[in-house]
Structure 1
Amino acid sequence: MKRSGLSVCLLAAVTITATGTVQAQELKTMDDVGSALNACWSPPSDSKNSAVTLSFSFKRDGSLIGPPRASAINVQGDDKARKAFVNAAIEAVEKCTPLKLAPSLAQGIGGNVFTMQFHSSD
């Protein structure tokens, strides 16, 4: 697949749940990226039947281009519960970056928008 920086907006949807440990090896695929971020995700203990989708972009060095943004929120509970859940997802992405990307992945990742859905562990 040929990549064009201006004409292609790459969206990767990965469902995230609370499991795993941080991976130290180079990340070669978007599945590897999802697993690495998954290892950092810890939903608030009182959250059930909740999810948030974040949108974010990486630089080629594996760091974020700006903060992740919530693009879809479905959190059970009050405004405080919603903020806690969204903030926990944002913190998971921020504390896992910069990612150690393989050159082959880093070459095409810069500036593309990715989406990831973070779920509570029901």
Structure 2
Amino acid sequence: MRGMARYPTIVGALLALPLPANAASLNTMNEVGATLQACWTPPANSGNSSVTLSFSFKRDGTLIGPPKPTAIKVSGNDKARQAYVDAATAALRNCLPLSFSPDLAKGIPGKVFTLQFNSPKDNAKAVQQ
């Protein structure tokens, strides 16, 4: 019984925690891009590199199939390039599912979007179609 007395305190503390950034409904593709960019951390020592991923969303904020790299500009060998692509893909997937507003969710399914991941992080930019 003693352990049960602490249960409401734990629940109250959990309810007071801030919600993840992607919990709010996103109304525009600029908001989608900013949310996804917030998840991006470039690999260490990646220099002036970038990768562009192409992907499509479902209405529920998940992806239709895996993202595909469409442009890769990474110095180094194949292993360095693959590490950069993997980091960009992980950043995208770790942000999902997104919560789209009803209006945005209506027009998003099946459209192809691209997102460019750059180093350093503050140079990332989103591009639609």
TM-score with structure 1 length normalisation?
A: 0.80
2:57 matches 1:63: no
Listed as ranges, the gaps of 5+ residues in structure 2 are 1-19, 122-129
Contact 1:58 1:112 in 2 (8 A): yes
Contact 2:22 2:98 in 1 (8 A): no
Distance 2:21 2:36 in 1: 8
Contact 1:22 1:40 in 2 (8 A): no
Contact 2:22 2:99 in 1 (8 A): no
1:23, distance to aligned residue in structure 2 (A): 3.9
Distance 1:112 1:38 in 2: 19
Q: Which letter maps to 1:41?
A: W
SS of the residue corresponding to residue 55 of structure 1 reads strand
Can you list the C-alpha shifts for 1:6-49, whole angstroms capped at 9, x where unaligned? xxxxxxxxxxxxxxx83431100000000110111011011011
TM-score with structure 2 length normalisation?
A: 0.75
2:39 matches 1:40: yes
Higher relative contact order (CA 8 A, sep 6+): 1
SS of the residue corresponding to residue 21 of structure 2 reads coil
Cross-structure match for 2:103: 104
Cross-structure match for 1:79: 78
Structure 1 runs of 4+ aligned residues shifted over 4 Å read none
Listed as ranges, the gaps of 5+ residues in structure 1 are 1-20
SS of the residue corresponding to residue 81 of structure 1 reads helix
Please say which structure displays the higher CA radius of gyration. 2
Cross-structure match for 1:8: none
Q: Percent identity?
A: 58
The structure that is helix-richer by fraction is 2
Distance 1:23 1:115 in 2: 19
